[in-house]
Each structure stands twice: as C-alpha cells, then as structure tokens.
C-alpha cells in the first residue's frame, strides 16, 4: 500500500511458508505455485511480470502457446486463491502477523500489516445456523421435456393395437 513502510522480504517469505503448510494449500499444488510465484515476483521488484501469461506458463505449467482469452485457468486460480486466503485468515490459529491480499481484477499481491487492515477488509465468516437449501429433485427446466415425452409415449401406447394391425395387415 502507498506510504506504508515496506515489510521485510524474509518476513513475507516466512509468512508464505506458513500459509503453504495449511491444509487448503497443501492439498492444492497449483494454488500453492500461484501464490509462491506472485509473491516472489513482487519481492524481486518484478511486478511487471505478474501477468496472466507468465503466471500460466511459469507457475501453472501451461505451454508457451497459452492464450488467456481461451483458457481461464489464471482467473479461476486467482479467484480460488482469494477465497483460500480469506479462509486462511479467518482461522483464529492462522499467522496474523501480516496479510497477503490479492486485489480483485489483478494478480499483484499486497502485503499488509495487521494494524493497517481496514475493518471492512477483515472477513467475517459466521455460522448463521441456517441449513443449506436443498435443490428440488425435479427442477422446473425438466418439466416441459418430460411432459412431452410422456405424452408421446401415452399416445403411442393408446394407438398400439391399431399400429400392430396396420403393420401385420388384415
């Protein structure tokens, strides 16, 4: 963030190591590689290299002919990374000595000291006690096609004796 004293790279790397040991990141190697890549590039002062193409080819193992317009892998992984970071920081046992934020619409991470995190940026994940609504067994989009098939089947069955006589002859 502008005007904020720089957080030492060693502190950021140590923090990232802790994040990568968490269950969400340990079970998702692409997510871990994405985070590691963007953090290292930022620490090396190479923010200009933090783009969809370089993330895809250097961190996620995509071929050099990668096309971000046709392959949404970087956008999908960025969304997953944002969500996983929110979940990580929502855990009271997590390291809250600093926070890594991946702003929506970009891939350049921000390193924020906890005292600088605005109240609105702190995720609130609470159990509301509500149960998840279950989907109905028969969704409404299937009613018309199923009704049509059943109507046709009913018509065929009602005409079955006459169809047999027609095919077999008198």
pLDDT value at residue 131? 52
Mean pLDDT, the chain cut into blocks of 10 residues (170 residues total):
70 94 92 96 94 95 92 94 93 90 93 68 48 54 78 83 77
The residues, ordered by sequence, that sit 6+ positions from 71 with a Cβ below 8 Å of its Cβ are 56, 62
Rg (CA), the chain: 27
**Closest to 99 in 3D by CA, of 39, 40, 144:** 39
Alpha-carbon separation of residue 135 from 128, 132, 138, 140, 168 (angstroms): 20, 9, 8, 11, 48
């Amino acid at each position: 963030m502008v005007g904020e004293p720089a957080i030492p790279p060693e502190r950021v790397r140590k923090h990232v190591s802790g994040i990568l040991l968490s269950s969400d990141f340990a079970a998702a190697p692409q997510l871990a590689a994405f985070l590691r890549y963007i953090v290292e590039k930022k620490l090396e002062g190479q923010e200009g290299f933090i783009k969809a193409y370089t993330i895809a080819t250097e961190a996620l193992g995509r071929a050099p002919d990668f096309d971000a317009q046709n392959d949404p892998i970087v956008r999908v992984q960025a969304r997953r990374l944002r969500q996983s970071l929110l979940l990580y920081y929502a855990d009271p046992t997590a390291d809250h000595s600093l926070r890594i934020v991946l702003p929506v619409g970009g891939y350049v991470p921000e390193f924020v000291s906890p005292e600088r995190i605005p109240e609105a940026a702190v995720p609130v994940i609470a159990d509301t006690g509500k149960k998840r609504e279950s989907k109905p067994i028969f969704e409404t989009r299937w009613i018309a096609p199923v009704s049509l098939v059943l109507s046709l089947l009913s018509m065929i069955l009602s005409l079955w004796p006459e169809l047999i006589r027609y095919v077999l002859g008198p």
